[in-house]
Amino acid sequence: MKNILLALLVTTGLFAANHVVDQKGKTFIPHAISVAVGDTITFKNSDPFAHNAYTDDEANEFDIGMQSPKIDVKVTVKAAGTFNVECAIHPNMLLEVTAK
């Protein structure tokens, strides 16, 4: 019974961690993170101009669109693997996510 309850809590995300990644000086800070499947990543924007964050990774594909300054956007990591997140506006920005 306890195991069933635990599984339920995990799948409903109550134990999921949130990882904050700031976008500042046209850089993802930090530039690499390790997460667990089911965790969330909150993208902040501390620059005075718009950013974006997207990945082409098939299992974790997302695109947060145009992210205005001071707006937070949260995404959920869906699958294990290592993938890159980039900013469509500033091609030199790179974040490496390792999901286990």
Residues that bind Cu ion (CB under 5 A): 51, 87, 89-90
| Shortest Cβ 96–Cu ion spacing (Å) | 16
Q: Which is nearer to Cu ion, 26 or 100 (CB)?
A: 26
Nearest residue to 98 via CA among 9, 19, 32: 32
Nearest residue to 37 via CA among 83, 93, 86, 95: 83
Residue nearest to Cu ion (CB): 87
3-state DSSP assignment of residue 36: coil
Q: Which is nearer to Cu ion, 17 or 66 (CB)?
A: 66
How is residue 53 written in tokens?
Answer: 């964050």
| Shortest Cβ 43–Cu ion spacing (Å) | 10
The type of residue at 45 is N
Which residues are CB-contacts of 75 (< 8 A; sequence separation ≥ 6)?
40, 41, 43, 53, 62, 64
Q: Which is nearer to Cu ion, 16 or 73 (CB)?
A: 73
Q: Which is nearer to Cu ion, 77 or 87 (CB)?
A: 87
| Shortest Cβ 53–Cu ion spacing (Å) | 8
| Shortest Cβ 93–Cu ion spacing (Å) | 5
